[in-house]
Structure 1
Amino acid sequence: MRAIVVAACLAVGSLSGGSTWAQTVEVSNVKYETALDLAGQKLQLNGAGTRYKFVVKVYTAGLYLTTKAGTPAEVLAAPGPKRIHISMLRDIDGNELGKLFTKGMEDNAPREEFVKSINGVLKLSEIFASRKQLNSGDNFSVDYVPGVGSTVLLNGKAIGETIKEPEFFSALLRIWLGDKPADASLKEALLGIKKERRR
């Protein structure tokens, strides 16, 4: 059985008198900053983990929020900007990834929310299709800023138009945090739920 990914982030060290936050955490050899600035606000890494397909590592994911959240409802209700960051661990066809994301959103989002997200779903699919293939080492983020919308960044550079519908980002997060998540252990990792690694 595969090892359950440990949500290693946000551990506070207390061996040297004072408690300090780690600058980065490492997940499947990918480093995630524990804090970053977005739209003038400080975000913290809520959790990070690895997406597996059977025993193959597909990508890592990290979720950034302004405040700690331990349940999907708390994540969706969290105020301020948010970021989901994906780093590829293997090559994958852009069209395939777009279809998988679309299916994940449709399977998990309430019908009304998904309908309002269609414009964003199409734009995201177009971005992936235009890329043809995402290679191991590529990364992308989706940044959500209230009142502005969602921006897709590929390898750190904004690509495509801003997706204005707020429902899109909520539907996107449900791919990993919904009732039918892409990977149950990744869902727990993004929520910061620590599990013992199976031997």
Structure 2
Amino acid sequence: MNTDPHLFRFRSAHRLMLAATILAGAGLWALPPAAQAVTIAAIDVPAEQTVNGANLVLNGAGLRQRFVFQVYVAALYRPQATQDVQTILDSTEPQLLRLTLLRDINSKALTDALNDGLKANNTDAQLAAMHDTIQTFEAFMKTGGEGASGDLVDIHFNQGKVSVSFKGKALGEVSDPRFATALLKVWLGEKPAQESLKQALLGQASAH
């Protein structure tokens, strides 16, 4: 019996390499790429965020434009990056959508734009079923006041709850899993605010 330790280490290493090759061929060895920080419209978007003790990684980020105007940079963070829309829409895990404003805008105008997105991606029946939640959301959103370039709008999703902070000030929270999904559809639905931004948030296209 050959007990050469060098031969034993070689055979062990060979077995590990063979196993890795088989796993890779089966699609089980592949891991999602590590999130990387990006810069969009002169806004630095970090690769990670910590929200209420949860470590979130950048799923994707992109520029929201309306006509020739740059409106905001949007960045989506979640526990693990994914390009699957339904996974994001159905998730009960912590998720953060951060909007960094690129122009002056008041909270009423932002709320109106979100309402347009809700109407575009949900049926009348769905909106009617969420009427009270939407009314509550609108009411606290409109208390945010004026926003300027560089201000942050943070929309937190967790366990069916949606909370919003504007310029670092908490505006309010609603608890309705249907609304959490509906609000995400503003950016990720079949009729998103901007198709190129949707793809960027999913990490499927250039963020710039």
Same fold (TM over 0.5): yes
Q: Relative to structure 2, which stretch is displaced further, 175-184 or 109-118?
A: 109-118
Task: Name the structure 2 match of 1:123.
Answer: 136
Give CA-to-partner distance per residue, 1:99-132, whole Å, 9 cap, x none: 1111111210244543343333223322342234
Task: Name the structure 2 match of 1:5.
Answer: none
Q: Pick one of 167, 176, 181 that aligns with 1:155.
A: 167
Task: Name the structure 2 match of 1:76.
Answer: 89
In 1, Cα distance between equivalents of 2:135 and 2:143: 12
Q: Residues 169 and 55 of structure 1: is their aligned pair in 2 closer, same or farther, counting only changes over 3 Å?
A: same
Residues 94 and 131 in structure 1, CA contact (< 8 A), matched pair in contact too: yes
Is the radius of gyration larger for structure 1 or structure 2? 2
Q: Residues 146 and 112 of structure 1: is their aligned pair in 2 closer, same or farther, counting only changes over 3 Å?
A: farther
Residues 69 and 78 in structure 1, CA contact (< 8 A), matched pair in contact too: no
Residues 48 and 56 in structure 2, CA contact (< 8 A), matched pair in contact too: yes
Residues 116 and 168 in structure 1, CA contact (< 8 A), matched pair in contact too: no
Q: How many residues align?
A: 177
Residues 109 and 178 in structure 1, CA contact (< 8 A), matched pair in contact too: no
CA RMSD of aligned residues (A): 2.3
Letter in 2 for 1:174: K
In 2, Cα distance between equivalents of 1:103 and 1:91: 19
Identity, in percent, stands at: 29
Q: Look up the SS of the partner of 1:130 in the other structure.
A: coil
Unaligned runs of 5+ in 2: 1-31
More strand by share: 1
Unaligned runs of 5+ in 1: 1-9, 13-20
Q: Look up the SS of the partner of 1:179 in the other structure.
A: coil
Q: Residues 194 and 118 of structure 1: is their aligned pair in 2 closer, same or farther, counting only changes over 3 Å?
A: same
Q: Pick one of 38, 58, 65 that aligns with 1:25.
A: 38
Question: Which structure exhibits the higher relative contact order, with contacts defined as CA atoms closer than 8 Å and separated by 6 or more residues?
Answer: 1
Q: Look up the SS of the partner of 1:171 in the other structure.
A: helix
Residues 66 and 78 in structure 1, CA contact (< 8 A), matched pair in contact too: no
In 1, Cα distance between equivalents of 2:207 and 2:147: 32
Task: Name the structure 2 match of 1:15.
Answer: none
Letter in 2 for 1:34: A
Q: TM-score when scaled to structure 1?
A: 0.78
Task: Name the structure 2 match of 1:52.
Answer: 65
Q: TM-score when scaled to structure 2?
A: 0.75
Residues 60 and 207 in structure 2, CA contact (< 8 A), matched pair in contact too: no
